[in-house]
A and B are shown apart, each in its own frame.
Chain A
């Protein structure tokens, strides 16, 4: 009997560290208030892949003039954003859109403000070859750097079990995505109050703000808080009218232009960041559905207080300005989402909502909150 037990014991002892390491990784993704992070079956997490992903994320050599890495616009020290209204790539070239934070991006079912990338993996490809971001002509410079760097070879080997000559862009983006799947945070004062049972975790003002959030302020429907967790996004696309005035006088013309261009094989990624009038069409450029004109993805509100400025064009500076935008009923236009309407909030109610939004800041970024005064 005992002889049979020994191999079992050995097996457990061998597997235990593996299980522990993955559960530690999993533990990191199960912070209070968050649901489990969705992991695609073709890109399972492992410690080597995550470390590799982080290294790739920070590497400035993957740009035309070696000045830009993912971390340039998604700076870990600034809650994975750049604090700018519009992102700036190589040579300070401006695009058309605000850099979203990587924090909790793993919960989105599509990436980019218009959802044109179906996954973190696919999203990672775009900026490398976008003329106003990293500015590379294709992926070969990336692969060359990797193949010449012995540190990379050994990390790729550990992460994917492949040799240097077999490394492709797919592996690169898979590693980056794996790293991004660990950039998740809950545990904010809101989470401790709501899911941790700590009645004192939020201020009185924030508690009032939470009540308003679900009722008069009408935030709940698009930025949902759940019974057991909250990701604060419905993963849908809505029109608030922000930036609509850019396209309104020439709407027919621009729409026709996009339709023609798409038929001819338009390169979405490049055009969206270079032509503002096309960028403002939002989701329409992806679906060609008239109802989607001016619609943008609902971002998560976690850490919103430290990831400004706001909206897809970074045009709204502060949280107070955001509340004011919603209070007036968005920017009226015929495609305005029909859940948006004037709110008639009092000054106290507006302030309470801002306090609540601040309470969505996770502890590791709380330091940035103090800088925002």
Chain B
């Protein structure tokens, strides 16, 4: 029997070159007439790298993050920066975070980090703050004010319950945990946010990046931020506010007053929509058009990352959905909320979006 000869190692850089270089399948960059504030950035989130033993990690999840990094490297035009949306690790282990940092180090663009609960609860964010990033900060970019929050905090009483850090982490890691605890931003951060925004003018576009949604969707799975209303109240005076979040591993979008909410995909695996658990009521935003239901045979189905355009103070989200047609979310000024450019009209829906 003739053995297959191994091909030489692919020069991944060059190979992935075309993956995102040509604008053919990228979002149309609609540059506002003479408006220098428009720019592009990228969002990679929820990789959940899982350590098995020694140097072995779950292959499926490694592949997802690696693919996103490779494709992002060859974006054209280049993104101004890349946001990592949280949950780099699965159980907050040093091995997982280091493995994630190693993969992310291949990114050729600057990174802004948002912490997720899977990164936080083993050591209460120690490694993250020491080696990766602050968890609460803000920055200005091309006259847009960006805020990053640690929105996966929770009640002290719950944190103190557990005998070991591993037990605490495991209980936060399990999504459907009846012994779970809701996410929150906390009064201290809200105070900080008020102060931070005090120096920002009302017509400056604001983008808040957070792991939890900053609104309430489904408490049993912590698709939830307990003090969401308080945070929204602080953001209320501003004309154009967008919240970008992770955690839910699905396409979700909403408009509450002046705030647009957009969920980012996971590079690892999709989560079902909460209406799929009939025992508990849900508050899925009515305007969301669901992503296509995933086929578990294809490991990258319903996973991906996002290319984001800041246009006229709003975020246009081009979901790079692997194994699927990409989806584009654009803010409609007339309607006053974000719409899916292809499927928002119910007449355009297709069975995979409704067969949940």
Interface residues of A (CB under 8 A from B): 218, 221, 241, 244-245, 248-252, 255-256, 259, 288-291, 293, 316-318, 320-321, 324-325, 328, 331-335, 337-339, 341
Contact = CB atoms under 8 A, between A and B. Distances in A.
Instruction: Please name the 3 residue pairs, one residue from A and one from B, whose CB atoms are nearest each other, closest first.
Output: A338-B300, A252-B17, A221-B297
A259 B67 CA distance: 24
Nearest to A255: B18
Contacts of B25: 289-291
B297 A248 contact: no
A333 B24 contact: no
A256 B22 contact: yes
Given A245-B8, A332-B10, A334-B67, A290 B1 contact: no
10 contacts: A251-B14, A252-B21, A288-B24, A290-B22, A293-B19, A324-B4, A334-B67, A338-B298, A339-B297, A341-B299
A246 to B, nearest CB: 10
A321 B1 contact: yes
Contact of B14 (A249, A259, A321, A337): A249
Given A251-B18, A252-B18, A324-B4, A334 B12 contact: yes
Contact of B15 (A221, A248, A259, A325): A248
A338 B15 contact: no
By size class, the interface of chain B is 20 to 34
Given A248-B14, A290-B25, A320 B1 contact: yes
Nearest to A325: B4
Contacts of B12: 334
Interface of B: 1-4, 7-8, 10-12, 14-22, 24-25, 59-60, 63, 67, 70-71, 295, 297-301, 322-323
Contacts, number: 85
A259 B24 contact: yes
B14 A252 contact: yes
B15 A251 contact: yes
Contact of B1 (A251, A255, A318): A318
A338 B4 contact: no
Contacts of A218: 297
Contacts of A320: 1-2
Contacts of B21: 252
Given A288-B24, A332-B10, A251 B4 contact: no
Contacts of A221: 295, 297-298
A320 B3 CA distance: 9
B10 A244 contact: yes
A318 B15 contact: no
A335 to B, nearest CB: 7
A331 B67 contact: no
A347 to B, nearest CB: 10
Contact of B10 (A245, A252, A290, A325): A245
B102 to A, nearest CB: 18
Given A290-B24, A290-B25, A333-B10, A251 B299 contact: no
Contacts of A290: 18-20, 22, 24-25
A324 B59 CA distance: 20
Contacts of B8: 245
